[in-house]
Amino acid sequence: MPFGRDSLAQQMALRFAFLMLLWLSGLLAHSIDGLTEGYISDIWIYLSFFGPGFIVLFGSYMIQKSLPDTIASFKALVDLDEPGFQSLTERIRRYSFAPCALLALVFVSLLTDVPRGVQLMALEGVKLHILWETLFVSFMYLLVGTGVWLGVSIWLTVFLISRQPLKVELSPGLIGNFRGLSMLALWFSLFYFLAVSIGVAISVAGRQTISPLEVVLSPMSLFIGIGIVSVLLPFYNIHRALLRLKRKELDDIATKYEDVRRRLNDSLRHPEGGEAGTIAAMGSLLSLQLRERKLRESPEWPIDIGFVSRLVSLVLIPAIVRASIELFNRAFMKK
């Protein structure tokens, strides 16, 4: 949607209008078949369009808008020449409609009655509301496939960058260099845990209550664990690279420290050589001590407590949704 490309408000209004037009097309199709009241009272359609549907369309805009600048911010962090960085950028920015469509086809084939609906229309004739519902379900799973591919693309971006050779200066403010990468990981976390929350809401809403042990052992806990590991794995790769770099520089300082100490001892044993050698050796020794202190204060992880707290808050989203639905089920779904 090129109109107002840089305006978040205009782009969101366009996406809302797009979804509203789709809803109105459904209203028209059901009205022609005399099913207006049932269509208007179907809460699921509203939730689908203006819940996960709007989230995916919003996320697609934000990713396409922010990803180029985010990729450019990594250039100073990786030890790649210009052709190598351009190759990495092309791999990251390789968006395609094909994976989204393929995922949608798999979901529609395995999780819906769309194939049966198509057969029914072929045998009994086309009815507008059945045709619209078939297209609606296919479109919603196309959005689901798009959301899944967006999440996978973000994760692959973070993972690919984490596997590149680093070119950073170890210092106490090192974490600031990875701010763009951590924000990209949080975007992935937001998509992932919102998807888990929606899946939880759809699967357990209205069902009879279960024991706390069954909640803990449910697929929700497995998906939360997978999400946490997926987010932290790329940063663990960077942690290992930073740790190797830190140990290498500390070993190098230790070697230089022994050489300076030997020169200082020689100059003290032979004062006839003048004070210049002693002063130079003491200056080198002080410089190495300052560098060593700076290295030891340098963080070994590219994330800080702020990132962890945000990740925890996102992890809690599906847990809060599950607890809320459980309270609703206990209150209104008595055995």
pLDDT in tens, 100-125: 888 888 877 777 777 776 776 676 66
pLDDT at 135: 86
> pLDDT for 69-96, tens place per residue?
777 777 777 777 778 777 777 776 666 6
Q: Note whether residue 1 is domain-resident.
A: no
4: left (phi over 0), alpha (psi -120 to 50) or beta: left
Q: Note whether residue 124 is domain-resident.
A: no
pLDDT of residue 272 exceeding 60, the answer is no
Percentage, residues of the chain above pLDDT 90 = 1
Q: Which stretch, 69-73, 249-253, 311-315, has highest mean pLDDT?
A: 311-315
Q: Note whether residue 207 is domain-resident.
A: yes
Q: Note whether residue 250 is domain-resident.
A: yes
pLDDT of residue 270 exceeding 80, the answer is no
pLDDT at 96: 66
For residues 246-251, give the mean pLDDT: 85
Q: Note whether residue 140 is domain-resident.
A: no
Rounded Cα gap, residues 186 and 181, in angstroms? 9
Q: Note whether residue 164 is domain-resident.
A: yes
The band of 42, judged by pLDDT with boundaries at 50, 70 and 90, is confident
Q: Which stretch, 9-13, 62-66, 212-216, 266-270, has highest mean pLDDT?
A: 9-13
Q: Do 321 and 202 meet the contact criterion of CB atoms below 8 Å apart? A: no
Residue 227 lies in domain: 8-96+151-332
pLDDT at 194: 78
- What does the mean pLDDT of the chain come to? 77
For residues 240-263, give the mean pLDDT: 81
Q: Note whether residue 36 is domain-resident.
A: yes
What is the CA angle 304-305-310, rounded to 5? 105
pLDDT at 209: 57
Q: Note whether residue 144 is domain-resident.
A: no
Rounded Cα gap, residues 62 and 311, in angstroms? 19
Rounded Cα gap, residues 225 and 227, in angstroms? 5
Q: Which of 115, 136, 118 is nearest to 127 (CA)?
A: 118
Q: Which of 60, 79, 77 is nearest to 1 (CA)?
A: 60
Strand-pairing partners, residue 78, are 166
Strand-pairing partners, residue 166, are 78
pLDDT at 290: 80
> pLDDT for 135-193, tens place per residue?
888 888 888 888 778 777 777 777 777 777 777 777 777 788 788 778 878 877 887 78
Percentage, residues of the chain above pLDDT 70 = 81
Q: Looking at per-residue confidence, does 50 or 20 come out higher? A: 20
- Read off the tokens for 3: 């109109």
Tally of domains in the chain: 1
pLDDT of residue 331 exceeding 80, the answer is no
